[in-house]
Amino acid sequence: MDEQASPVSFKAFVSRLPQKGMPVVIDADARQREALSAAHGLLSVERFHAALNVTPWKRNGVKVSGHVEADVTQECVVTLEPLQAAIREDVSGVFLPGDSKLGRSGFGDGGEIHIDADGPDSPEIFTGDTIDVGALAEEFFGLALDPYPRKEGALLESAPADVEPVEAEGPLQAKLRKLVQKD
């Protein structure tokens, strides 16, 4: 997670978690929703709700699971009109203290780390006795957003058939033509 504080930051004290875990519910207020909107390039965030459970994992680790739900307004990439979207995303993360041997177990002999692309994410390392579960929820919220929202039926118009394509001119284009002709 990045170093800048999340608009929905919630520091969970993890040094003495109950075995069944600690529930965390985040309902963003108007100021937080405005900051989320600005941070993610949205027109607005009407609702942001995260329900998480922070539980002990292995010896010193922490597991966060739950879900994030949000109602947002994005801008259609074709028409530039407002477009409503509903986010429903599961949240999952494992955190290990910086001195944990489990955090280093993925490293091979030469300091190389071996990651299975289809396997679970590697644990994140934390220092101190808190982790920011709000930032984790925001991370999953951001990943669930459509990067190219498009209104249903919105199409890009193609160039008319009777228009001749214009060939680029300039010194770089001339060099490129010479290179292509050598082959």
- Report pLDDT for 2: 46
Q: Tokens 């929820």 belong to which residue? A: 137
Q: What phi and psi, each to the nearest 5 degrees, are found at residue 86?
A: -115, 130
| Tens digit of each residue's pLDDT (9 = 90 or more) over 51-66 | 999 999 887 889 999 9
| Nearest partner of 97 among 127, 65, 55, judged by Cα | 127
- Report pLDDT for 94: 92
Report field, pTM of the whole predicted structure over 0.85: no
| Tens digit of each residue's pLDDT (9 = 90 or more) over 105-144 | 554 555 555 565 665 667 888 888 899 999 999 999 999 9
